[in-house]
């Protein structure tokens, strides 16, 4: 659209009027050097999806190796690289960019702003995250030495416990790739978090007080707070590890007096809040979608905000539930057990509020809503297996077993992925102006759900039968074979589902039904502009009087602001 | 400017009780930095007294009184500089800003002298023992922040010298001074942990 | 919604596309790559970083760089789906003759009821301890055994002795559960259609005694092995009857019994009218 | 949209089936099934776990039931598009209720957790307990009995504990390199084995037999093949085993002048740098103690049964059997290989 303005141009930054630009320069303007929050948001999501396919294929390969006992499809070294890359990618280069993308795309639209508070910083965040991902994958092409673990992809697991990551046990550069690429992703996330907070707190349109701000934006504020507080422990620990590896420092060097448990504290001080950083955006999507399809406002709005904030706060103090087996004193184990179980309380409030929102409504079972219902069901189960893990003695048996693997895939696929698909299905018409096909959407939904259950349900039991995680192979005769065999087939079903999703998206882009401005008859501001929205979002910045501005507009006789205490 | 009818990106919004985005941004940044420092401080405290061999803090550290005075007073001069901008007193502003930079630079010089002594006289490097490891990383992390602050202050100073209208950038300078105060407060923590508790 | 003047020829200032953030990111990445390969790469990274920093700097200072975009002219009201009528809950009307204050402070009532119930329950338990087992500490220690392993494996004689941790923990457990149940009573009792007092005093304690009895071997093996269930149920009934009575009275719950559920449950919805609030304003 | 959706019902059925299976899952004996405990710590954990599972299942059925009901009862019907349902914003009373109930549940679970946690962790170790030091290596286990001055690898023996003759075994956990995890599900929960740190745990096995376990903390390439076997003996058998382990290695006491060609071949090879055979010049500590190699059921951290053929294959190319492990391939001719195997198989 506009030509790139040279920074040395005089005229204080107003580029000349628009000229007719070539395809390429338009493309570069819009998809490479853009600072438009909508384009950056979509770019984030596209990158996340690409990495998702990569990490998903890794997940599939992991499952293929574990399909049979004593399988030799992957060598131990390659298998270890596989789950490390899978976990790292899924968390840092799928989850984080996806939620950054959603935040970028939706927040300005929902609060009636023209862009994020710091548009250029936004671009920086995107590029630094993306380059981090590329750096991580370039490790595959790094020099591989003869001894195990000297080059190639990192093989230390996504939580990279010291001292396995020290030079003594992990020579070469594979671990450095892990440290540095994750660090880049952290910088990107921090930048995004600052931007989200500044946008939500400073760019709201007229009349949008904090108490009227959409719950999605509220939850992203909680997430941003968590990112700001919880990412630095990881970054700090990684800096220390780098100093150990490059300059001979001794932070985690157990050959000197370094302490292996210190790394675990620092990592989980980050790692636990991280899982809520991943799921709260999921909660946010669900909180926006369920009311629209149940045709009722969210039940207990204030409680929702309170629950999100308290999850954000409590989750900073429960990290040691990943460390019940390191030999902490019993007092510490009990404290962390209780604190961890307490997180169930605000989470429960949310689950109940969502169900209550559906209660008495007229639920329209379109794909976004189906994903939300599936999410509720899965997250309930995932949360309850979480409670089991939170009971310290139970965790002495379950920890680092396939039960944990099943728990967290329930939270991450049943929870996060379902909500992200819900979000994509819901906002796709807004972002592209086209509807996704309901038929393909339902195929995608059902295959994904079935595949997911086939893959992960049995793994709970394998875990209860003593199967440790992160093993590249296992002997026959311990009762694990069947569960592993079926689990692998589940991936194939999931893969088909994902392919259908991709097909659905491409098909909709090419020949999808026109969406119109407000296809779901929804209530938040993003539906009060065209689909896709213009560069400037709103020609006239809207003024709001309640938390459902479009409801007020559609029901002048019965507006929300009459019932809301402000 | 050129198009009078053009709408600003962020029109002034009256009633939504919006905050200032510069302040929100900076406070967020400070929040995340505090978190970062607290981890290094934790590591320092954790390893106090755990070095089996090599120089110990009591033997080699001397309390950096002068450096501390310099850095703390530079906060005062930074504050005075910002006030000068508000009162549109340009030369006073330049003087105080210059003083801030000089005091900060003196702090860095003191640090350099100390490190030089530690490395060359006491043979304490980051690899010597966990004291060296935690000492250099914590003090070094703080020093990095001082350097970044100094660069920003210097840029402001040069811009002002070359005739930029400082009054227009009052807000930015104000934020910069906040950052500088933050670096100062962190020094108080580092000082307490390294030279008081840890010695 | 439209508050700004509508003008088809309006333009808007948006931040211009810029390459510098991307270049800056590249610089940082190269610095990192250099750590693993060669200092030259790091140096290149630093140079790129500095270039980008300066470029970026000049773009925002002294003025932010904008491009001016014309609006499509379509600034009028948007086409939105036509609204359909809303069904209202219609419950306030039938019961509007009742004029009592709505329940606004369930906490206070719950705490008061809990206090009374807790004392009554403790009374029964202590009576049992003193008269039947011959030691006032016995029931306290049994309760505390839920959380203290040494008490869980103690002999009857040991259980009769004074135990400081036992006393503290037993008290905490007793007070906490009483408070929680009291608050629960205060919010739930109004929701029962009638005879709230009967529910609170008799049914609920019997219900939870049953629940506890079935899991007690797991929750508190010591208590389960040593408890006299008749006395246990009696103490629970003491809690329910006294606590429930206090709460029911405080809240005038009895008098609300013929209101519709939506009102009793305190639903906030247009159409649900709080008795006593007049007719104009819907529920708050 | 023709009918209403009934799929949550299906899910529920599926979930309950799963849970039933989970409660009954019948492993082999000895199995890794944590719900078949055969020692006190494992039993305490298993009881608490049952309570937890029961509570969670109850919560699950209630909440999933509510969800299913909402979905089925309030699903879209013909004619619903003509009006919007009543708009309900919330209810303090109901919300307080569903905040308090979970708090109560958490409270109950917390008490039980507190009791079991301290019961297991703060257990008093009696004076007559047997002490075993467990040392994790990349990718094998070393077991030392300080009282008997014996050392063995990957399998270790402990005495049975009965009501009549309680005998507790206390394990001291240390690591020689990175973090590992010691986990034998039927005896006790896992405890990490961490360098620069000493952890401990205790067991009192109540049935004789062989118990399987795995390293439970990722420790590098061969983490998968770092299995452990605990062999529970009657006190009598245990004493016999100890005596046998304390004896010097076979052939180590040959009179001067006598030679054993096989032994000589072994002692002149690189093996002695890493391995110990008591009474000989082989005193390496990098690899497992081989003094009584043949008394073990398996080789190389339970990778293969302990047979001469497997031993030969192992020596021929350790990297083939267990890629990445820390024993290098020592180049040996076929004849030398035979001599090695011949010697090692005498180490009863
Ligand atoms: C999105 C991610 C996500 C989420 C949301 C959660 C949520 C929870 N997780 Fe999970 N967890 C992970 C991702 C997640 N987890 C990952 C990735 C790991 C493994 C990391 C690794 O080792 O690689 C892990 C590991 C993990 C462990 C460590 C296991 C181990 O390694 O030994 C524990 C232990 O306590 C735990 C507990 C919990 C709990 C209690 C919750 C709670 O938040 C759940 C709360 C929800 C509910 C309880 C359900 C709804 C509530 C009600 C209906 C109310 C009534 C219920 C009660 C009162 C019980 N998780
Ligand atoms: C968002 C997070 C996320 C997601 C979505 C997933 C998705 C999947 N994961 Fe996950 N996983 C983690 C996060 C996640 N994982 C983490 C953090 C770990 C811990 C790592 C560690 O221990 O360090 C882990 C570990 C882990 C393990 C344990 C490894 C071990 O301990 O040894 C396994 C094993 O089954 C597994 C499997 C899978 C599978 C089958 C999927 C599937 O759902 C994937 C489905 C997607 C696709 C299949 C891709 C799309 C399909 C196509 C493009 C078609 C073509 C593809 C094929 C033909 C294969 N993962
Ligand atoms: Cu040792 Cu895993
Ligand atoms: Cu966690």
- Report residue D13's pLDDT band, with 50, 70 and 90 as the boundaries: very low
Q: Which domain holds residue D321?
A: 261-344
How far is C189 from C200, CA to CA, in rounded Å? 7
Question: Are A466 and D21 within 8 A, CB to CB?
Answer: no
pLDDT for the residue D266: 86
Domain residues for C178? 103-254
In a domain, C92, yes or no: no
Residues D186 and D282 in one domain: no
- The 10s digit of each residue's pLDDT in A181-233 is 999 999 999 999 999 999 999 888 888 888 889 999 999 999 999 999 999 99
Question: Is A323 near ligand 1, meaning CB less than 6 Å away?
Answer: no
- List pLDDT tens digits, range C231-279: 888 888 888 888 888 877 765 554 555 566 666 666 777 666 555 444 3
C35 and A CB contact within 8 Å? yes
- CB-CB contact of A407 with A389 (8 Å): yes
pLDDT digits (tens, 9 = 90+) for D114-173: 999 999 999 999 999 999 999 999 989 999 999 999 999 999 999 999 988 899 999 999
Range of the structural domain that residue B175 is part of: 63-190
pLDDT band at C6 (very low <50, low <70, confident <90, very high): very low
Counted domains in chain C: 2
Q: Copy the structure tokens of residue A77.
A: 């070294």
Q: Considering chain A, what is the average pLDDT of its residues? A: 90
Asked if C232 and C115 sit in the same domain, the reply is yes
Report the complex ipTM: 0.91
Residue D254 included in any domain: no
Is D105 close to ligand 1, i.e. is its CB under 6 Å away? yes
| DSSP string for residues in A462-507 | HHHTTPBSS-S---TTSS-HHHHHHHHHHHHHHHHHHHHHHHHHHH
Q: Chains B, C in contact: 3+ Cβ pairs under 8 A? A: yes
Residue C242 lies in a domain: yes
- Which regions of chain C does DSSP assign to beta strands (E)? 11-15, 66-70, 267-268
Is A470–D223 a contact, with Cβ atoms under 8 angstroms apart?
yes
**Centroid of ligand 3 to alpha carbon of A474 (angstroms):** 14
Cβ C34 vs Cβ C47: under 8 Å: no
**Phi, psi for residue A359 in degrees, rounded to 5:** -60, 125
Q: Which of D84, D68, C272, D97 is nearest to A355 (CA)?
A: D68
Whether D98 contacts C180, CB under 8 Å: no
Q: Write out pLDDT tens, residues D203-213.
A: 999 999 899 99
Nearest of A550, A541, A484, A489 to residue A517 by alpha carbon = A550
> D254: pLDDT confidence band, cut at 50, 70 and 90?
low
The verdict on a CB contact (< 8 Å) between C19 and A128 is: no
D101 lines ligand 1 (CB under 6 A): no
The reply to whether C25 and C138 lie within a common domain is: no
Range of lowest pLDDT (A126-130, A501-505, B164-168, D222-226): B164-168
Domains contained in chain D, number: 3
Same domain? For D151 and D61 the reply is no
Asked, for residue B29, whether it belongs to a domain, the answer is no
Please name the residues between 175 and 214 in chain C that touch chain A, using a CB distance below 8 Å.
none
Q: How many domains does chain B have?
A: 1
Q: Are residues C170 and C238 in the same domain?
A: yes
Instruction: Evaluate if residue D2 carries a pLDDT over 90.
Output: no
Give a yes or no: residue D37 inside a domain: yes
Q: What is the pLDDT of residue A240?
A: 96
Distance A411 CA to ligand 4 centre (A): 11
User: Cα–Cα distance between A32 and A25 in angstroms, integer?
Assistant: 10
Q: Say yes or no: D299 and D227 in one domain.
A: no
Please judge whether C11 and B169 are an interchain contact, meaning their C-beta atoms are less than 8 angstroms apart. Answer: no
Confidence of residue C158 (pLDDT cuts 50, 70, 90): confident
D226 lines ligand 3 (CB under 6 A): yes
Q: Which helix (H) or strand (E) holds A45?
A: helix A37-66
How much distance in Å is there from the Cα of A129 to the middle of ligand 2? 21
Ligand 4 centroid – CA A231 distance (Å): 14
**Does any domain span residue D253?**
no
Q: Please answer yes or no on whether C66 and B2 come within 8 Å at the CB atom.
A: no
Shared domain for C120 and C185, answered yes or no, is: yes
CA A443 to chain centre: 23
Whether residue A502 has its Cβ less than 6 Å from ligand 2: no
The tokens 């990095």 sit on which residue? B144
pLDDT of residue A23: 78
Measure Cα distances from A172 to A88, A165, A237, A470, D289 in Å: 19, 11, 19, 22, 31
With the most atoms of ligand 1 within 8 angstroms of its CB, the residue from A408, A415, A418, A420 to mutate is A408
Task: Give yes or no for B10 touching C (CB within 8 A).
Answer: no
Which residues does residue D227 pair with via DSSP β-bridges, in sequence order? D214
What average pLDDT does range B8-24 have in this prediction?
A: 67
* D9 close to ligand 1 (CB < 6 Angstrom): no
Is residue B105, in this structure, part of any structural domain at all?
Answer: yes
Average confidence (pLDDT) over A80-100: 95
Helix (H) or strand (E) holding A562: none
End residue of a domain, out of C21, C48, C66: C66
Q: Which residue minimizes the CA distance to atom 55 of ligand 2?
A: A495
DSSP state of A413: I
Please check whether residue C5 lies inside any domain of the structure.
no
Whole-prediction pTM: 0.92
Same domain for D276 and D176?
no
Residue D177 Cα to ligand 3 midpoint, Å, equals: 10
Instruction: State both tokens at B170.
Output: 């009052």
Beta-carbon separation of A530 and C65 below 8 A: no
Strand pairing of D180-183 and D130-137? unpaired
State mean pLDDT over C174-182: 89
Residue D20 has pLDDT above 70, yes or no: no
Answer yes or no: is the C-beta of D100 below 6 A from any ligand 1 atom: no
**Residue C146 in domain:** yes
pLDDT tens-digit series, residues B101-158: 999 999 999 999 999 999 999 999 999 999 999 999 999 999 999 999 999 999 999 9
* Residues of chain C contacting residue B8, judged by C-beta atoms under 8 Å apart: 12-13
> What CATH number does residue B160 fall under?
1.20.120.80
**Range scoring the smallest mean pLDDT among A176-180, A316-320, B2-6, C145-149:** B2-6
> Tell me: the pLDDT tens digits for B20-72?
888 999 999 999 999 999 999 999 999 998 888 888 998 898 899 999 999 99
Please give the distance of CA D226 from its chain centroid, rounded to a whole number: 10
């Amino acid at each position: 659209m506009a030509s790139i303005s040279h920074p040395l141009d005089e005229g204080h930054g107003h580029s000349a009027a628009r000229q007719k630009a070539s395809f390429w320069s338009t493309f570069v303007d819009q998809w490479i050097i853009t600072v438009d929050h909508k384009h950056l948001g979509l770019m984030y999501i596209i990158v996340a999806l690409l990495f998702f396919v990569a990490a998903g294929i890794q997940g599939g390969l992991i499952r293929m190796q574990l399909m049979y006992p004593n399988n030799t499809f992957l060598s131990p070294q390659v298998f270890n690289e596989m789950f490390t890359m899978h976990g790292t990618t899924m968390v840092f280069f799928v989850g984080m960019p996806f939620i950054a993308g959603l935040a970028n795309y939706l927040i300005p639209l929902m609060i009636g702003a023209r862009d994020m508070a710091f548009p250029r910083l936004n671009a920086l965040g995107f590029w630094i995250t993306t380059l981090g991902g590329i750096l991580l994958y370039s490790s595959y092409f790094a020099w591989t030495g003869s001894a195990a673990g000297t080059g190639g992809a990192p093989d230390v697991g996504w939580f990279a416990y010291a001292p396995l990551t020290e030079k003594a046990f992990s020579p070469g550069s594979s671990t450095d790739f892990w440290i540095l690429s994750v660090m880049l992703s952290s910088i990107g996330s921090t930048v995004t978090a600052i931007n989200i907070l500044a946008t939500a707190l400073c760019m709201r349109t007229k009349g949008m007080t904090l108490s009227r701000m959409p719950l999605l934006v509220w939850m992203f504020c909680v997430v941003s707070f968590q990112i700001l507080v919880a990412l630095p422990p990881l970054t700090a620990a990684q800096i220390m590890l780098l100093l150990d590896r490059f300059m001979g420092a001794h932070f985690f060097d157990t050959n000197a007096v370094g302490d292996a448990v210190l790394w675990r504290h620092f990592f989980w001080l980050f790692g636990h809040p991280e899982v809520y950083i991943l799921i709260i955006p999921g909660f946010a999507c669900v909180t926006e979608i369920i009311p629209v399809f149940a045709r009722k406002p969210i039940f207990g709005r204030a409680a929702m905000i309170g629950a999100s904030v308290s999850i954000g706060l409590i989750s900073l103090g429960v990290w040691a539930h990943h460390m019940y087996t390191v030999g902490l004193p019993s007092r510490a184990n009990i404290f962390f057990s209780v604190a961890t179980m307490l997180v169930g309380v605000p989470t429960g409030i949310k689950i109940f509020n969502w169900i209550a929102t559906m209660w008495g409504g007229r639920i329209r079972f379109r794909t976004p809503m189906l994903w939300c219902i599936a999410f509720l069901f899965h997250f309930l189960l995932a949360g309850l297996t979480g409670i089991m893990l939170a009971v310290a003695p139970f965790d002495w048996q379950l920890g680092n077993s396939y039960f944990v693997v099943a728990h967290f895939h329930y939270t991450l696929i049943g929870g996060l992925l379902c909500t992200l698909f819900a979000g994509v299905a819901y906002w796709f018409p807004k972002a592209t102006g086209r509807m996704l096909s309901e038929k393909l959407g339902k195929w995608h939904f059902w295959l994904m759900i079935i595949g997911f259950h086939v893959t992960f349900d049995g793994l709970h039991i394998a875990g209860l039968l003593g199967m440790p995680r992160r093993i590249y192979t296992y002997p026959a005769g311990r009762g694990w074979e069947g569960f592993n065999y079926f689990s692998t087939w589940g991936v194939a079903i999931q893969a088909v589902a994902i392919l259908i999703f991709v097909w659905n998206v491409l098909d909709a882009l090419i020949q999808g039904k026109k969406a119109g401005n407000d296809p779901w008859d929804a209530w938040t501001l993003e539906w009060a502009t065209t689909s896709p929205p213009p560069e400037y979002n709103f020609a006239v910045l809207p003024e709001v009087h309640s938390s459902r501005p479009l409801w007020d507009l559609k029901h002048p006789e019965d507006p929300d602001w009459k019932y809301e205490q402000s | 400017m050129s198009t009078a009818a053009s709408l600003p990106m962020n029109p002034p919004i009256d009633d939504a009780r919006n905050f200032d985005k510069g302040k929100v941004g900076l406070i967020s940044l400070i929040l995340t930095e505090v978190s970062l420092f607290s981890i290094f401080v934790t590591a320092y405290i954790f390893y106090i007294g755990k070095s089996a061999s090599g120089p110990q803090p009591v033997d080699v550290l001397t309390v950096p009184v002068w450096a501390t005075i310099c850095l703390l007073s530079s906060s005062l001069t930074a504050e005075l500089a910002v006030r000068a901008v508000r009162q549109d007193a340009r030369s006073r502003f330049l003087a105080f800003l210059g003083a801030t930079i000089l005091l900060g630079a003196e702090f860095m010089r003191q640090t350099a002298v100390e490190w030089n002594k530690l490395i060359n006289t006491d043979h304490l490097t980051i690899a010597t023992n966990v004291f060296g490891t935690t000492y250099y990383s914590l003090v070094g992390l703080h020093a990095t922040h001082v350097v970044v602050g100094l660069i920003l202050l210097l840029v402001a100073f040069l811009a002002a010298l070359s005739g930029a209208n400082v009054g227009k950038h009052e807000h930015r300078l104000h934020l910069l001074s906040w950052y500088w105060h933050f670096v100062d407060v962190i020094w108080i923590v580092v000082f307490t942990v390294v030279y008081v508790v840890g010695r | 919604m439209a508050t700004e003047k509508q003008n088809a020829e309006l333009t808007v200032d948006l931040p211009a596309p810029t390459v510098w953030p991307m270049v800056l990111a590249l610089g940082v990445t190269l610095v990192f790559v250099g750590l693993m390969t060669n200092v030259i790469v790091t140096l290149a990274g630093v140079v790129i970083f500095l270039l980008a920093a300066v470029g970026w700097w000049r773009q925002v200072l002294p003025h932010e760089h904008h491009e001016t975009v014309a609006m499509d002219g379509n600034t009028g009201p948007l086409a939105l789906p036509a609204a359909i009528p809303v069904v209202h809950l219609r419950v306030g009307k039938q019961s509007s003759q009742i004029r009592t204050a709505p329940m606004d402070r369930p906490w206070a009532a719950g705490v008061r009821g809990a206090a009374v119930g807790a004392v009554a329950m403790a009374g029964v338990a202590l009576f049992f301890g003193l008269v039947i087992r011959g030691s006032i500490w016995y029931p306290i220690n049994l309760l505390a055994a839920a959380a203290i392993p040494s008490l869980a494996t103690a002999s009857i004689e040991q259980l009769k002795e004074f135990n400081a941790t036992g006393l503290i923990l037993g008290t905490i457990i007793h007070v906490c559960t009483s408070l929680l149940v009291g608050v629960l009573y205060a919010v739930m009792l109004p929701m029962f259609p009638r005879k709230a007092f009967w529910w609170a005093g008799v049914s609920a304690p019997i219900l939870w005694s049953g629940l506890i009895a079935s899991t007690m071997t797991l929750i508190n093996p010591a208590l389960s092995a040593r408890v006299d269930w008749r006395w246990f149920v009696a103490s629970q009934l003491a809690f329910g009857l006294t606590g429930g009575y206090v709460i029911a009275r405080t809240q005038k719950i009895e008098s609300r019994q013929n209101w519709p559920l939506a009102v009793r449950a305190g639903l906030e919805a247009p159409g649900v009218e709080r008795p006593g609030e007049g007719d104009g304003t819907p529920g708050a | 949209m023709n009918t209403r959706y009934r799929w949550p019902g299906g899910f529920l059925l599926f979930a309950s089936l799963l849970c039933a299976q989970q409660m009954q899952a019948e492993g082999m004996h000895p199995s890794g099934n944590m719900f078949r405990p055969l020692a006190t710590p494992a039993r305490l954990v298993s009881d608490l776990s049952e309570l937890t599972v029961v509570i969670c299942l109850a919560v699950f059925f209630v909440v999933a039931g509510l969800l299913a009901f909402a979905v089925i009862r309030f699903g879209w019907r013909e004619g619903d598009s003509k009006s919007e349902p009543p708009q309900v914003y919330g209810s303090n009373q109901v919300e307080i209720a569903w905040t308090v109930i979970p708090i109560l549940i958490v409270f109950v679970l917390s008490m039980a957790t507190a009791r079991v946690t301290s019961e297991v962790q703060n257990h008093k170790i009696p004076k007559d307990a047997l002490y075993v030091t467990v040392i994790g290596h990349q990718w094998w286990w070393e077991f030392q009995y300080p009282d008997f001055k014996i050392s063995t690898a990957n399998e270790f023996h402990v005495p049975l504990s009965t009501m009549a003759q309680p005998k507790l075994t206390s394990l001291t956990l240390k690591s020689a390199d990175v973090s590992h995890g010691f986990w034998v599900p039927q005896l006790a929960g896992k405890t990490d084995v961490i360098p620069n740190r000493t952890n401990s745990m205790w067991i009192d096995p109540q049935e004789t037999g062989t118990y399987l376990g795995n390293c439970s903390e990722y420790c590098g390439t061969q983490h998968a093949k770092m299995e452990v076997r605990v062999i529970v003996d009657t006190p009598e058998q245990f004493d016999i085993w100890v005596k046998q382990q304390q004896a010097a290695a076979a052939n180590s006491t040959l009179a001067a002048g006598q030679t054993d060609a096989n032994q000589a071949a072994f002692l002149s090879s690189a093996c002695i740098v890493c391995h110990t055979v008591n009474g000989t010049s082989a005193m390496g500590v990098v690899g497992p103690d081989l003094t009584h190699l043949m008394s073990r059921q398996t080789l190389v951290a339970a990778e293969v049964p302990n047979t001469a053929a497997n031993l030969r294959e192992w020596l021929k190319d350790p990297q083939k059997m267990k890629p990445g492990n820390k024993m290098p391939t020592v180049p040996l001719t076929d004849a030398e290989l035979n001599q090695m195997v011949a010697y090692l198989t005498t180490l009863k």
